[in-house]
A and B are shown apart, each in its own frame.
Chain A
Amino acid sequence: MDRFEKRAIALALSLVLMFFGLIVYAAKGLQADLPTCLPYKREIKQGAFQEIGPNRYQVDVVAFMWGFDMGQINTIRIPRGAIVDFYVTSRDVMHGYHIDKTLVNLMAIPGAITYSRVKFDRPGEYQIICHEYCGLGHQNMAGKVIVE
């Protein structure tokens, strides 16, 4: 193979390996990791909103056509600085659960649970958007996290 070709391949390989190294650092060092398989079986039938410790909350989210049951329907209020665990599932078809301006971006899968933890440092309103097609009312399926 031509030597310029070899150099180009080596350069491309170093570039993608560097990107990959940064990703691993962000995931494991900075804790910006992806949802994983829960190490225990858990089934969620209904939405629930619980305070589980000082400024710690657990929200069970059941997505349905076309809204989010989080104990309350579509809107939850939490204090500023709260750390929130979201456990998301669906009662009917696939849905999405994306909280705008956060790294909470999850699929709601019937029969499975997707988990993510987030800390809300800034007060304000965070829109929750269903971003997976779920029938004719899909475009109206949204909610809100209000951080006070």
Chain B
Amino acid sequence: MQAVPVKGATRFIILSELIIPFILLILGVLLGLYQALARAGIIKSADLFGINYYQGLTLHGVINAVVFTTFFAVAFGNAIMLHQLKRPLKEGVQWVSWVLMVGGTLMAAWAMLTGRATVLYTFYLPMVAHWTFYVGATLLLIGSILPYFFDWIPNTLAWRRENPNAKLPLAVLGNLVNFTLWFLIILPLATTVLFQMLPLSLGLIKEANVLLSRTLFWFFGHALVYFWLIPSYIMLYTMLPKLVGGKLYSDSAARLAFLLFLLFSIPVGLHHQYTEGGLSSGWKLWHAFLTFMVALPSFITAFTVAASLEHGARLNGAQGLFGWMGKLPYWSHEGDKWLFAYLISGLILFLFGGITGIVNASYNLNLIVHNTAWIVGHFHTTVGGLVTLSFLGMTLFMVAKLRGVDIKAKSLALAAPYLWMVGFVIFEIALSVTGLQGAPRRSNLGISYLDPASGELLYRPDWLFWSHVGALGGVIAVIGFLAYMVSLFGTLFAKPVKQPEIDFPMSEALHEQTTPLVTNLRPWVTATLLLIAISYTYPVYESMTRGIVANAPGYQSEGNNLVPQQALQQQSKLP
């Protein structure tokens, strides 16, 4: 498929949607390093350079997992639609989206950096952040959904009219599924933010139902991880086979995987609430079942991707049962093949993420790992693994194309994903072990459990060794990130030698035949809505009635501290 030249506003918008969140990501990654060292007791302090541990943890989570991922998904979605449908983006829509996303991010960043929103990235009630945090987050989400409604859907419909007999390109299907999902899950999140958190923050209401807020948050919260993951899957299905010189093993399996994600990724949120009272365990078991079903498209992906890699390697002369594993372009300076290093490293990490994820989903098994360091290990190999590596690789790829330059410091760009991968394999194993030993997540262990001075109620010398191993993993990963930064900034500031364009290495399919099951979207959307209604009506009702005894007053984040709102209001009444 040929490249699409880009210029003017379209080029600026896509490029800046990649670079702006990356600048923030640098801060997010460095704060991650601080957390890894603090959790090992190597840094024993409540803050570093004026940033409190939990303030830094909030920034680390919000920037890395929400801002970076959302901006990237929009930029990548824009580029995919433009490249696949060959129809220009609607610049008016894109500008409104850009202004909302950037403006919202700046508002939320101000609140977090000034200690007015030290509420972690899950911002559980009754903790209350400054109103700018909620409004900023809302603007970011609204901005991110606008291109879907006012650019991509109209452009897809127009493309359909012009190509009545053509199959919707696979990458376009994946992207539309992703943002359909995104729209559906923004609704419950917006409900708790706009009707509970924001009014509480502004003092319009005095109390809120915490359990209901949590149920609504996790209605959004787990499907969010698939919103991160689907762009990575698009790369695995449509680009990875081409990079190894082969074809996608099965087109309809890929389509089926995307549609199964749509169906199963939302009604699984109770698996984040296994340990909460107020919700019936029968419904938790139902969500556990659906969580296992959502593992299915990932299994399909594992098979299809491995089969595509094997097919490509055999075309390049691989022999024997496992010989193909040695014939892959792990370290290739040729053309775009460097991108393979990012995707394969991400896939290796995702193996760990998938297995630990099945443990987490496993209902009663979750009691052993819930909110321990194990969970932290898990998501650093999913969102911190495949998602981050594929996003970083694709950011570098697109920046080079959009600026019309060749990749600079290619060896560093090649080393980066492997360092990251090795670092996070070590990190994951270490955090799994400390998690099983009982070490909690979200805690500044260095000034408590790992400090001999903290007394016998707290001190846990048995966590020391593996916490240090975890810190070592974090350091290795950050070295990889620094290598990546050298290459990215070199590429960003290099002199252009070509026309700016958008181009992706798109694969053809080996098995092309399609079943009607995977070409018609409508029954899938209907089934999705039905399954959500079945799975969430009763838990939401229970959160509002049987499960809750009393509403709770808010606790405002003030200078990183949590202060009862009542006390604040009384203070302000004094002369």
Contact B249 A2 (CB under 8 A): yes
> For the complex, what is the distance from the CA of A19 to the CA of B293, rounded to whole Å?
11
Contact A33 B281 (CB under 8 A): yes
Min CB distance, A135 to chain B, in Å? 4
Min CB distance, A17 to chain B, in Å? 8
Residues facing A in B437-453 (CB within 8 A) are: 438, 440-445, 447-449
Residue total for A at the interface (Cβ-Cβ under 8 A)? 64
Q: Which of A13, A32, A38, A131 has the most CB of B within 10 A?
A: A131
Contact A16 B295 (CB under 8 A): yes
Min CB distance, A113 to chain B, in Å? 5
> For the complex, what is the distance from the CA of A112 to the CA of B564, rounded to whole Å?
19
Q: Produce 1/0 per residue, B289-330, CB < 8 A to A.
A: 100110110011001100100000000000000000000000
Contact B288 A20 (CB under 8 A): yes
Residues facing B in A15-38 (CB within 8 A) are: 15-17, 19-20, 23-24, 26-27, 32-38
Min CB distance, B231 to chain A, in Å? 23
Using A23-B362, A34-B284, A109-B276 as known contacts, say yes or no to A101 and B438 having CB atoms under 8 A apart: yes
**Which residues of chain A are near B292, meaning CB under 8 Å?**
16-17, 19-20
Min CB distance, A132 to chain B, in Å? 6
Specify which of A15, A37, A75, A135 is in contact with B277 (CB 8 Å cutoff). Answer: A37
Q: Closest chain A residue to B549 by CB distance?
A: A43
> For the complex, what is the distance from the CA of A132 to the CA of B276, rounded to whole Å?
12
Q: Is A110 part of the contact surface with B, judged by Cβ < 8 Å?
A: yes
Q: Is A129 part of the contact surface with B, judged by Cβ < 8 Å?
A: yes
**Which residues of chain B are near A13, meaning CB under 8 Å?**
296
**Which residues of chain B are near A27, meaning CB under 8 Å?**
281, 285, 363-364
**Which residues of chain A are near B364, meaning CB under 8 Å?**
23, 26-27, 32-34, 103
> For the complex, what is the distance from the CA of A20 to the CA of B252, rounded to whole Å?
27
* Chain B contact residues, majority secondary structure: mixed
Contact B252 A1 (CB under 8 A): yes
> For the complex, what is the distance from the CA of A4 to the CA of B306, rounded to whole Å?
12
Q: Closest chain A residue to B252 by CB distance?
A: A1
Q: Is A140 part of the contact surface with B, judged by Cβ < 8 Å?
A: yes
Residues facing A in B403-457 (CB within 8 A) are: 438, 440-445, 447-449, 454, 457
- Which of the candidate stretches B85-93, B208-216, B492-500 sits at the interface with the other chain? B208-216
**Which residues of chain A are near B183, meaning CB under 8 Å?**
none
> For the complex, what is the distance from the CA of A137 to the CA of B56, rounded to whole Å?
15
Q: Closest chain A residue to B375 by CB distance?
A: A131
Q: Is B253 part of the contact surface with A, judged by Cβ < 8 Å?
A: yes
**Which residues of chain B are near A75, meaning CB under 8 Å?**
457
Q: Produce 1/0 per residue, B92-123, CB < 8 A to A.
A: 00000000000000000000000000001000
Q: Is B370 part of the contact surface with A, judged by Cβ < 8 Å?
A: yes
Contact B444 A139 (CB under 8 A): yes
**Which residues of chain A are near B442, meaning CB under 8 Å?**
131-133, 138
**Which residues of chain A are near B548, meaning CB under 8 Å?**
111-112
Q: Is B278 part of the contact surface with A, judged by Cβ < 8 Å?
A: yes
Residue total for B at the interface (Cβ-Cβ under 8 A)? 82
Specify which of B52, B211, B293, B454 is in contact with A109 (CB 8 Å cutoff). Answer: B211
Min CB distance, A109 to chain B, in Å? 6
**Which residues of chain A are near B124, meaning CB under 8 Å?**
93-94, 132
Q: Is B34 part of the contact surface with A, judged by Cβ < 8 Å?
A: no
**Which residues of chain A are near B460, meaning CB under 8 Å?**
127
Contact A136 B458 (CB under 8 A): no
Contact B274 A34 (CB under 8 A): yes
Q: Produce 1/0 per residue, B553-575, CB < 8 A to A.
A: 00100001110100000000000
Contact A23 B54 (CB under 8 A): no
> For the complex, what is the distance from the CA of A27 to the CA of B247, rounded to whole Å?
45
Specify which of A37, A92, A101, A114 is in contact with B564 (CB 8 Å cutoff). Answer: A92
Using A101-B438, A107-B276, A114-B275 as known contacts, say yes or no to A139 and B362 having CB atoms under 8 A apart: no
Q: Is B250 part of the contact surface with A, judged by Cβ < 8 Å?
A: yes
Q: Closest chain B residue to A18 by CB distance?
A: B292
Using A37-B547, A132-B442 as known contacts, say yes or no to A92 and B555 having CB atoms under 8 A apart: yes
Contact B362 A109 (CB under 8 A): no
**Which residues of chain A are near B180, meaning CB under 8 Å?**
none
Contact A32 B367 (CB under 8 A): yes
Residues facing B in A33-61 (CB within 8 A) are: 33-38, 41-43
Q: Is A80 part of the contact surface with B, judged by Cβ < 8 Å?
A: no
Q: Closest chain B residue to A9 by CB distance?
A: B300
Q: Is B552 part of the contact surface with A, judged by Cβ < 8 Å?
A: yes
Contact B448 A35 (CB under 8 A): no
Contact B555 A131 (CB under 8 A): no
Contact A136 B281 (CB under 8 A): no
**Which residues of chain A are near B250, meaning CB under 8 Å?**
1-2, 5
> For the complex, what is the distance from the CA of A77 to the CA of B558, rounded to whole Å?
38
Contact B54 A136 (CB under 8 A): yes
Q: Is B167 part of the contact surface with A, judged by Cβ < 8 Å?
A: no
Residues facing B in A65-113 (CB within 8 A) are: 65, 74-75, 88, 92-94, 96, 98, 100-101, 103, 105-107, 109-113
Closest 9 A/B residue pairs (Cβ): A114-B277, A12-B299, A131-B440, A110-B552, A36-B281, A8-B303, A131-B371, A139-B448, A135-B562
What are 26 A-B pairs with beta-carbon distances under 8 A? A1-B256, A4-B303, A5-B250, A5-B307, A8-B303, A12-B295, A15-B299, A20-B289, A24-B285, A34-B364, A35-B276, A36-B277, A37-B277, A41-B549, A42-B549, A92-B564, A98-B370, A98-B372, A103-B368, A105-B368, A109-B278, A110-B552, A131-B442, A138-B54, A139-B449, A142-B448
Given A13-B296, A111-B210; 10 other pairs, CB 8 A cutoff: A2-B250, A2-B511, A5-B511, A8-B303, A94-B127, A98-B438, A100-B438, A105-B368, A113-B549, A133-B442
Q: B-side interface residues toward A, CB under 8 Å?
A: 46, 52, 54, 57, 120, 124-127, 209-211, 214, 249-250, 252-253, 256, 273-282, 284-285, 288-289, 292-293, 295-296, 299-300, 303-304, 307, 358, 362-368, 370-372, 438, 440-445, 447-449, 454, 457-458, 460, 511, 513, 515, 542, 546-552, 555, 560-562, 564
